Structure 1
Amino acid sequence: MNAAGRPGRTRWTRLRDHLAASDPGLLRLTAGLRTVGAVALALAVLASLGFGVSRLVTGAMTAMVATFAIRERRRGAQAVTLACGLPVALVSVSLGAVLSERPVVGDAFFVVLIFCAVYGRRFGDRGTSLGLIGFQVYFVSLFVGASTGELPGLWAAMTVAFACSALVRFALVPVTPAGLLVRLRQAFRARLGRLVSAHLALLDAAPEEMDKALEEVREGTARLHETALMIQTRLEEGTPDESAARLVQRRIADAEIAAERLGLLLLSARSAERADTLTLHLPGAPAPEVGRLPGPDEAVDRLRRDLEALRALVLWSGTAGTGVAHVRNRLLAYRDEEHLPRASPAVQDVFRAVGETARAVMGLRIALEGPQDESDDSPATARSREELEAEDAAIDAGEEAGEADRHTGLRRPTTRAAVQVAVGSTLAIVGGELLSTDRWYWAVLTCWIVFINTASTGEILVKGYRRLLGTVFGVVAGIALAAVVGRHTLAAFLLVLLLIFLMFYTAPLSYTLMSFFVTAMLGLLYTLLHTYSWEVLVLRLEETALGAACGVVAAALVLPVRTDRRTDELLVTVLERLAEVTDAAVGQLSGAPGGDLLDRARELDQALGDLRSATQPLTHPVTPLRARRTNARYVVALLETCAYHARSLAATAELLPTHPSIAADPRLRGAAGRTVGNIRTIATRVAGEEAPRAVETGPSIASLLGDAGTSRYGRITGRVLRHLERLDEAVVGLARPLDVSVSAPDR
């Protein structure tokens, strides 16, 4: 065990794994370092050229905008967008300076600019980036009080800022698609190791500790799935060819499914009856009644030792030695019945799952690192390696077609959002100028921001609430920091850099925290510009509240998209993807030609992720509708359970050409037809149409198969039947919270 667990496990390796698990791909760290690097470099260059504080602030804010606005993944596309962004920024600041002397015309132009910036999202990442640069730079011109006489100095400062942003992006803190994918793989390995640690805690948890242990397994499973999705969305840019991308995608899916199944079987072994898969996906669900793991103490001790060995195998890095090979061989041997220890059937299932997880880990390592040393292979390891090689050879690359936007005119999301934010900004300008003729633009900025990455009134309301909350605490922090810094310009700029880093590092984690750091930073900027006062920061809070209110009013009254409607649309999409994956997987298991099952499973996961985000207003802790919150969480958990079983079926179906213990059985299509039909019935009802039939229940999938002809078609593994039955049960369970009628079988 020690030989397997210690090679390469230095303190630096453990720290690296911790960072990888907490920040997959180091995306947050990279965003923070890039932005701070660009701002610091711009400040250093401008200060050395003798620019004043106003130009320094302009350069710092422009460098920040030029860094975070770029959204493309490929370096060439990033360079083009950055080059296009400079003239857009220069034109925007020039118009801001010229129109500052004509308030009415300037306000009207600002509204038009906001509309165009949001509408530009329909043209992809570049349109989004250029719109963001245009809006933010116009805001900078208002913030520093730009005038036409100052334009040459502003142009120079902004050109330096863009150059510094490019230098940091492409030279000092470079990120290539291949390098990012390597870090994401490292994150997947680290999070898989943490999930196995959670399984160990679940094995040893006392009954009163089971809820906490189960919550750790849930969290670990969700984070592993999150990393798998991040890898899948970047495979095409980070791998040399499509075939290699599909191979990695397959091995990532195998490892994720195997780890989730290991946790489920371990929970079942400790429960009085087989645990429901829903328990692993429903937050806050109580742990089932558990007792001591059945079986002799020797088997329990052996399982604990093997889980520790599995964790070491997952986290192992470097050259494999004899100890690593020995551990790998021992774990893979559990895939053969004769090597299972004497224990209850439930505990033996856990040992089988350990063996399958070890096989998935080996397959993932081969896919990522190439062929491994085979000199110490046992017969079980050699057989697993042969299966993996056969599966790799059978993987065929396929094309993935994009889905066209079905909406036109005001129904197109980008157009609707542009109209809404334009109306909201108009209200914010009017209300903001009533509060202050000098700082009214803060209300417009807040109104703009609450519309970014939102699609329904509920999402905008939650985002506005979070921004207001962060601003309240940020005002207090800004007052304290301004009092500490006083007139020390260097200390203020250093604190600004720190706050910028924290702002971007925490943005994906908490919008409230990000708003807090933004407001605290602005307090320091006002100090640098010698415009700081208690009244200014209080006004900032008032303008923020006004802007958030204007955004919510515009979203609720102008072309509104209710949260219920948005979630229903996404729910229908999830159900359609679920039906497609299930139907295709069952068809392939029944003998139909193969298809792009893993691509369809990825589309299902992405649709489910969109639904999970859209339901946040319904599941937010402050929502007064407790019953609806519980219902939304239950539906999402059931869908995650369905997605797990559908992914497992898809992965099993792709084993058909190579796996000796799985054979096609034409009876499966008829037996699983009820499940697919039920999914489509629920989708039809959720879409508001009249379903041709009710959700049907009846005999189990296994009983529908019957016994006749089993020898003729080969062995359909118990795992396939379990997934089909669990999926059937979960789909029927969806009917009640979605208010779809269920018909009982005729007696």
Structure 2
Amino acid sequence: MSAAGSTLALRRRWTDLIASGYDRLVASDPGLARLRLALGVLVSVVLAVVILGLAGFAITGALLGASIAMVASSGPVQPTVRKQAAVIVLTILPAAGALTLSALLSGHHVVSDLVFLVVIFGAVYIRRIPDYGFPLGFPAFMMFFFASFVGASPAALPMLLLAIAVGLACAGLIRIVVLPPRSARTFRRVRRGFQARLAQVLDSVADLLADGPATGRLDRVRRRVDRMHESALMVEAELDSPLAPAGATLHQRRVLAAELAAESLAHEARRAMTATDRPSEADRDLARARLGTLIELIRVDRQRGGSGEFRVPDWVCDREQRVAGVDPAARGLLWAIAEVGAAVARSRKANHRPVLGPPVDDEEDVPERADRDPVAPPVRGLVGRLLPSTRQAIQATVGCGLAILAGELLSPQRWYWAVIAAFVVFAGTSSAGQTLMKGFRRVVGTMIGIVTGTVVALLVAGDLPLVAGLLFVCIFAAFYLMAISYSAMTFFITVMLGLLYSLLGTFTPGLLVLRLEETAAGAAAGALAALVVLPTSTKSMLRDSVARLLDRLAGFVTSTVELMADGELVDLIDASRDVDADLDAVQTSAEPLLHRISPRRARRSDTRHLVRVLTRCAHHARGIAANAEVAALPADRTLAEVGARVAANLHRLRAVLRDEPHPEPLVRDENPAAAIGRGVPAGLDERTRRAVDHLTQLDQAVIALARPLGARLADRPR
């Protein structure tokens, strides 16, 4: 090979390697949301430190400015630039107020602690205010905390207030000017992330067909399907933004269709490869070749500007050619591959990009939304009558009060570490189990971070540029991993503290050990408050979230009948996403019961089974939404009867969960789909057949909920 040829091959190899790495990054971080967050925080902090350093501020002022820049730039992203600017401007009020109180009360220890508890109560209480509550309450707590951390005094107050203003200005500059919320651009990113996840599912199916159904390969297919679903939900979230691109409903339908097609393909591949009569080697090779073609089409569609030739294969559009010459064992598999190809082509057309080859049939869109909100759960006692923000404000105040006492006993100078540990365990939690789990993760992250932070701080002590560089790396890593692992975030924050104390010249290994002790004391105080003060049990929260999901599914089934049988214009796409949102709430509620530290293995197994069946229900709801058409089965009495029975069974399950007296048993039918569409002279078309099949599977999944929810079963009256 010539030198030019070798150089070209090497360049191509590096290009492929970079493209593969970028694909993995986009797939793991759809929309690059975590990357944007971490970069925004890092640049805000660096900019604040540089400006304050050049302006001659003391180290305490630089730390305070960097801390408020970190807090303000890591808060929730607002949907519009105006609202983002309003939040940052308003942040100066609680931040400056808390800092002033802490500095003025620095010589009055008991009064300062009591005022700190009032600040904590207010910071949690105002979370009830949409969009503004958390980003205004959390800075108030953090500024009181950091004032104690840096030892703020009344004499230094003017310079510290100016440092806060500089830090907020830096955060605003980065969030509003450098990294503004641009939904159209973010939508393109999350769409490319979804396509990367879709390609990964196809790749894992190809590996399954090539190497056989080993447990590891089956698990990888399942994991990639789950990640693709998470990515699809991110696309949906962007399409719900006020700045969403034109034709959002069309994009929603296309993404849902592609997701459902890929899920069906994964199911067909698992079924085919685990059956006794597997597809032949030739049919598997054909399937792998077609999967490779689809992966290449997805790669072309992901290119910026839509460059590259996107040619739809004939076997995607020609229904006869899809399974021509294929053994019966592989027909479902090859058909599912073609459905994925059709969904990918329709998605490209929805984005106004050229599609070559045979025409792909378009799908009609449903213009109206099915708006059926679930029934609110019954109010139970004082806890049920209080708003969650009020209940948590009381719990956080009590927990932080206990943390102050425990922290003072451990160290009169570093007691605030216990307080922040107690405070943060109530952020993003709704039950005692979630609070316990978050406290456990914080202690684990701190414990591992202490060992690493001690080693790193001792190795780099005295090297100012290296310490500063590692500090910035820890800040970036902490916020990049925040949404993935709370323990990882706590780990990097602990390492950062070790480097920070090394920078200040006050580092000792015992200091980080003290941080572990204070963190454990604070987490224990928070957990005790969550368990004793107005507790919300994980079990009751799970029952309420499951009841809401059952209500939502019942409304979805009723809307399906109205759409397909009565011809009413309802949007099942949005309705299915509401089901997904309620399923996500169920999974969040069940997480403490499924965690490995949960002491009850039997309950863990029952809860896992319940979540799996509910996940099946949501999957089939998405399948119905992707395939149901207006008046597909006009005035079909059997469809109306089946839909009414499924909805009634869901209401009976909800009655069991709500402890209603004498709930009726569930009614079942062995084969409800057999008679649906029987009066259609030409038979059911492919899409309607798929919608009916998903309704049948949903019916069976609802019946399967009887055992984990403790409902009775009864045969359908004859």
Q: TM-score, normalised by structure 1?
A: 0.88
Deviations 1:296-337 (A, max 9, x none): x43332111111111212222358899741xx1324135x13
Check the 8 A contact 1:615/1:632 in 2, yes or no. yes
Deviations 1:600-652 (A, max 9, x none): 11110011011111111111122221111111111111111111111111222
Check the 8 A contact 1:9/1:316 in 2, yes or no. no
**Residue aligning to 1:366:** 349
Q: 1:166: how far off?
A: 1.7
**Residue aligning to 2:320:** 337
Amino acid at match of 1:650: A
Q: 1:195: how far off?
A: 0.7
Comparing 502-511 and 80-89, the one that deviates more: 80-89
Q: 1:713: how far off?
A: 7.9
Q: What is the SS of the residue equivalent to 1:237?
A: coil
Spell out the pairing of 1:45-124 with structure 2 (5 A cutoff). Answer: 45-124=51-130
Q: What is the SS of the residue equivalent to 2:599?
A: coil
Amino acid at match of 1:576: D
Change (3 A) 1:366 1:570: same
Q: 1:746: how far off?
A: 6.6
Asked if 1:574 corresponds to 2:549, the answer is: yes
Superposed CA RMSD: 2.6
Which of residues 678, 689, 699 in structure 2 aligns to 1:728? 699
Q: What is the SS of the residue equivalent to 2:130?
A: helix
Q: 1:371: how far off?
A: 5.1
Q: 1:52: how far off?
A: 2.4
Using the alignment, how far apart are the partners of 1:301 and 1:607 within structure 2?
A: 40
**Residue aligning to 2:279:** 294
Q: What is the SS of the residue equivalent to 1:451?
A: coil
Check the 8 A contact 2:594/2:604 in 1, yes or no. yes
Using the alignment, how far apart are the partners of 1:103 and 1:409 within structure 2?
A: 36
Amino acid at match of 1:352: W
Spell out the pairing of 1:627-638 with structure 2 (5 A cutoff). Answer: 627-638=602-613
Which of residues 323, 338, 358 in structure 2 aligns to 1:355? 338
Deviations 1:663-704 (A, max 9, x none): 773421113332222122111101221354101223311345
Asked if 1:160 corresponds to 2:166, the answer is: yes
Which of residues 313, 321, 325 in structure 1 aligns to 2:297? 313
Check the 8 A contact 2:84/2:176 in 1, yes or no. no
Using the alignment, how far apart are the partners of 2:372 and 2:52 within structure 1?
A: 48
Check the 8 A contact 1:42/1:63 in 2, yes or no. yes
Q: State the identity as a percent.
A: 35
Check the 8 A contact 1:467/1:511 in 2, yes or no. yes
Q: What is the SS of the residue equivalent to 2:279?
A: coil
Deviations 1:95-138 (A, max 9, x none): 11011111111111111111111111100121210101111111
Check the 8 A contact 1:72/1:126 in 2, yes or no. no
Check the 8 A contact 2:375/2:548 in 1, yes or no. no
Asked if 1:687 corresponds to 2:658, the answer is: yes
Q: 1:341: how far off?
A: 2.0
Q: 1:172: how far off?
A: 3.3
Q: 1:70: how far off?
A: 4.4
Check the 8 A contact 2:183/2:244 in 1, yes or no. no
Change (3 A) 1:221 1:664: farther
Comparing 698-707 and 247-256, the one that deviates more: 698-707
Check the 8 A contact 2:300/2:309 in 1, yes or no. no
**Residue aligning to 2:489:** 514
Change (3 A) 1:473 1:103: same
Q: 1:402: how far off?
A: 8.8
Change (3 A) 1:666 1:205: farther
Amino acid at match of 1:186: R
Asked if 1:257 corresponds to 2:260, the answer is: yes
Check the 8 A contact 1:701/1:724 in 2, yes or no. no
Which of residues 190, 198, 215 in structure 1 aligns to 2:219? 215
**Residue aligning to 1:605:** 580
Q: 1:171: how far off?
A: 3.1
Check the 8 A contact 2:96/2:161 in 1, yes or no. yes
Using the alignment, how far apart are the partners of 2:613 and 2:384 within structure 1?
A: 35
Which of residues 233, 239, 242 in structure 2 aligns to 1:235? 239
Amino acid at match of 1:204: A
Spell out the pairing of 1:138-287 with structure 2 (5 A cutoff). Answer: 138-207=144-213, 209=214, 211-237=215-241, 239=243, 244-272=247-275
Check the 8 A contact 2:444/2:487 in 1, yes or no. yes
**Runs in 1 of length 4+ with deviation above 6 angstroms?**
319-323, 399-409
Q: What is the SS of the residue equivalent to 2:247?
A: helix
Deviations 1:451-487 (A, max 9, x none): 0000001011111011001111111222212212323
Amino acid at match of 1:538: V
Using the alignment, how far apart are the partners of 2:122 and 2:528 within structure 1?
A: 21
Comparing 590-599 and 679-688, the one that deviates more: 590-599
Spell out the pairing of 1:405-416 with structure 2 (5 A cutoff). Answer: 411-416=386-391
- How many positions carry a matched residue from both structures? 699
Using the alignment, how far apart are the partners of 2:634 and 2:682 within structure 1?
A: 10
Comparing 139-148 and 352-361, the one that deviates more: 352-361
Using the alignment, how far apart are the partners of 1:399 and 1:703 within structure 2?
A: 27
Deviations 1:238-265 (A, max 9, x none): 6556x61111111111111111011112
Q: 1:173: how far off?
A: 3.5
Q: 1:522: how far off?
A: 1.2
Change (3 A) 1:481 1:706: closer
Change (3 A) 1:183 1:533: same
Deviations 1:206-235 (A, max 9, x none): 34x2x1111111111111111111121221
Check the 8 A contact 1:590/1:667 in 2, yes or no. no
Using the alignment, how far apart are the partners of 1:721 and 1:87 within structure 2?
A: 57
Check the 8 A contact 1:581/1:597 in 2, yes or no. yes
Q: 1:526: how far off?
A: 2.1
Using the alignment, how far apart are the partners of 1:121 and 1:151 within structure 2?
A: 28
Check the 8 A contact 1:184/1:231 in 2, yes or no. yes
Using the alignment, how far apart are the partners of 1:681 and 1:585 within structure 2?
A: 19
Using the alignment, how far apart are the partners of 1:518 and 1:404 within structure 2?
A: 42
Using the alignment, how far apart are the partners of 2:510 and 2:33 within structure 1?
A: 37
**Residue aligning to 1:461:** 436
Change (3 A) 1:562 1:530: same
Which of residues 471, 477, 484 in structure 2 aligns to 1:496? 471
Using the alignment, how far apart are the partners of 1:40 and 1:338 within structure 2?
A: 60
Q: 1:566: how far off?
A: 0.6
Comparing 729-738 and 553-562, the one that deviates more: 729-738
Structure 2 gap ranges (5+): 1-11
Q: What is the SS of the residue equivalent to 1:696?
A: strand
Amino acid at match of 1:466: R
Deviations 1:571-621 (A, max 9, x none): 111111111112211332223412121111111001101111111111112
Comparing 188-197 and 536-545, the one that deviates more: 536-545
Check the 8 A contact 1:119/1:418 in 2, yes or no. yes
Q: What is the SS of the residue equivalent to 2:604?
A: helix
Asked if 1:432 corresponds to 2:415, the answer is: no
Amino acid at match of 1:232: E
**Residue aligning to 1:555:** 530
Comparing 682-691 and 394-403, the one that deviates more: 394-403
Asked if 1:19 corresponds to 2:2, the answer is: no
Check the 8 A contact 2:627/2:690 in 1, yes or no. no
Q: TM-score, normalised by structure 2?
A: 0.92
